[in-house]
Structure 1
């Protein structure tokens, strides 16, 4: 796995972690920021053919 791929996957992981923490804290602003970051990270992954696992709808399902 190349450095770029690893960086993209790490960005997706970090964004998912931030989203989960924001949802747990029930912080609407942080949820919006984290969700935007996750959406962008997943978009970059898709654009470059990187499998980033479950998409946003699966990772946040049932937490709102």
Structure 2
């Protein structure tokens, strides 16, 4: 990314690179969020939480990390 910006690459190429980076980061974020939900919200001592509380926790996570 830095090289593309410092070598004055074509704007379309830089935008494509940014879109690819964003896609990769979004995919990684989805994987980490899924892992967190499965291991921390749906298992262990939290599994006894009411479904509404689990849903609210998941919504809070999505809002915090994907906005």
TM-score (norm 1): 0.44
* More relative contact order, 1 or 2 (CA 8 Å, 6+ apart): 1
Q: Which structure shows the bigger proportion of residues in helix conformation?
A: 2
Higher alpha-carbon Rg: 2
